[in-house]
Amino acid sequence: MILMSMYRIKRVLSGLMMLVAGSAFAESDLRGSSDYDGLKRYPLSWIVEYQSETSPDYLLALGKMKKKSGVIAPEASRRLSGQLRQITYRIPEGHSAAEAFDFIVGQLQQQKAEELFRCKSRQCGNSHQWANQVFGVSRLYGVDRTQSYLAAKLGGDYIAVYSVKRGNKRVYLQLDILSDKPPVAVEEPAISEGAESVAELPGWQENFTSRGAWLPVDFWLLLREMRRLLPLFV
């Protein structure tokens, strides 16, 4: 009975090591980037573009793209100023732009955010204009019928959400937040190369879920610790 229990424990630990090792190839966030505190990111997504700056003149789109006097622009908009954060997420393969969009919008609805404008598919207009003119992120240029957009106000923050699938099948979600409060700086914990145990890392449990991450800050360190403990159960 004891040998059987030890065998099962060994299999569980081996499985965990394979999971951690396989995750080593997972994409990581752009260095220096961070999530918006008010919303959880879509599971397994990662940040590919990030910008934080004071914007004296941000255009919040409140209408579809429409050509007027030879110029294509949002049918309605609002000029705002404040601290602007622009976060571009890559959505993992196998997940749609609509799923990512609904995940974020659902959180906004739960928090009673005020919806200012929403559109989807070709109702929004040309994706090229949304990508380059509204957000200034060229990789957001995708297939018109896959796009969704929402402008909302959450407390004192104005939020723009846009998701789309590109022709190469990659899915992206854009999150713009304009606030009168500067973002909180994210400090990455320093890990020395000579560290031998996860227990030596202060607060590693908290880092497991920091900024939406799904793994500890240094999962190779965790892998070494698990390999060290495995012989104890053999």
Nearest by Cα to 153 from 119, 124, 179, 131? 179
99 in a structural domain? yes
Query: 33-67 pLDDT, tens per residue?
Result: 999 999 999 999 999 999 999 999 999 999 999 88
- Please tell me whether residues 152 and 207 are part of one structural domain: no
pLDDT at residue 72, rounded to an integer: 85
Task: Find the CATH number of the domain harbouring 56.
Answer: 3.40.1000
Q: Which domain holds residue 218?
A: 2-27+194-233
101 in a structural domain? yes
227 in a structural domain? yes
- Please tell me whether residues 217 and 106 are part of one structural domain: no
Number of folded domains that form the chain: 2
- Please tell me whether residues 76 and 159 are part of one structural domain: yes
- State pTM to two decimals: 0.68
Query: 155-187 pLDDT, tens per residue?
Result: 999 999 999 999 999 999 999 999 976 655 555
List Cβ neighbours of 205 (8 Å cut-off, separation of 6 or more): none
Nearest by Cα to 173 from 27, 55, 47? 47
188 in a structural domain? no
Nearest by Cα to 214 from 87, 38, 85, 45? 45
